[in-house]
């Protein structure tokens, strides 16, 4: 791949022992997809970019990106279902949890 530019909105950076992952969203009409760019952690050289099988209604649905040396991951809400990806792989997994939106209530102390 010769084009190493990242087109989209970067949201998170995660690392493993040998790679840096830039997780960002790319708009496609009324939805966005989760895309991952992979860089070498020593040289910073561009390695790969791939779009995950995802369709976000709003960019805030990309909720968690975690750095863990053996399994950095991204988790997002897609139409009420949690989906995840171990960064560096192209596989998307449906997590056995349903997401329900709720209104936050804040307690104030007098």
Cα–Cα distance measured from residue 33 to residue 52, given in angstroms and rounded to the nearest whole number: 7
Tokens of 83: 């989906």
Q: Would you say residue 4 has pLDDT above 70?
A: no
Cα–Cα distance measured from residue 61 to residue 55, given in angstroms and rounded to the nearest whole number: 10
Residues 10-56 have pLDDT tens digits of: 889 998 888 999 999 999 889 999 999 999 999 999 999 999 999 99
Of 6 and 63, more confident: 63
Give the pLDDT confidence score for residue 65 in this predicted structure.
Answer: 81
What pTM, to 2 d.p., does this model score?
0.78
For β-strands 31-40 and 46-51, DSSP reports them as antiparallel
Give the pLDDT confidence score for residue 99 in this predicted structure.
Answer: 62
């Amino acid at each position: 791949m010769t084009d190493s530019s990242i087109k989209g909105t970067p949201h998170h950076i995660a690392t493993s022992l040998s790679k840096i992952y830039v997780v960002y969203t790319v708009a496609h009409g009324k939805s966005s997809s989760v895309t991952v760019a992979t860089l070498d952690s020593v040289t910073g050289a561009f390695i790969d970019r791939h779009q995950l099988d995802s369709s976000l209604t709003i960019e805030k649905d990309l909720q968690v990106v975690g750095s863990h040396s053996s399994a950095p991951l991204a988790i997002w809400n897609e139409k009420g279902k949690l989906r995840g990806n171990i960064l560096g792989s192209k596989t998307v997994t449906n997590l056995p949890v349903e997401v329900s939106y709720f209104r936050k209530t804040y307690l104030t102390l007098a």
